[in-house]
Amino acid sequence: MIPQHQNYRLYFDNYFTSLHLLEYLGKEGILGLGTIRRNSIPDCKLSSEKEIMKKVRGYSEKYVADINGIDVSTVVWKDNSLLHWLPHLLV
């Protein structure tokens, strides 16, 4: 069992990452960080993949959404390919 509200962080890959999981962990006071596929992000406010691929390597964007009272940010940055992260933020 992971202690609640003690700044523990869980890291996972896109196989385990979901908004529902981050919402649950946030309500339990546990931070989470994971990769996610872009099509798993509802109403994504980030630029399109085509637009980002035109940018220089190292370019990044961030969007913070409220998921049932839990702030969840989505970060994408360009390396050799695009990487999407969902770091959960405790308020």
* Whole-angstrom distance, CA of residue 15 vs CA of residue 86: 13
The pLDDT value recorded for residue 90 is 45
Residue 14 amino acid letter: N
The pLDDT value recorded for residue 59 is 92
- The pTM assigned to this predicted structure is 0.72
Domain ranges of the chain: 9-89
DSSP assignment of 7-41 equals --EEEE-TTT--HHHHHHHHHTT-EEEEE--GGGS
In this structure, what are the phi and psi dihedrals at residue 20, rounded to the nearest 5 degrees?
-65, -40
Q: What confidence tens digit (pLDDT) does each residue in 18-75 have?
A: 888 888 888 888 888 888 877 777 778 888 888 988 999 989 999 888 888 888 888 8
The pLDDT value recorded for residue 88 is 54
The pLDDT value recorded for residue 86 is 62
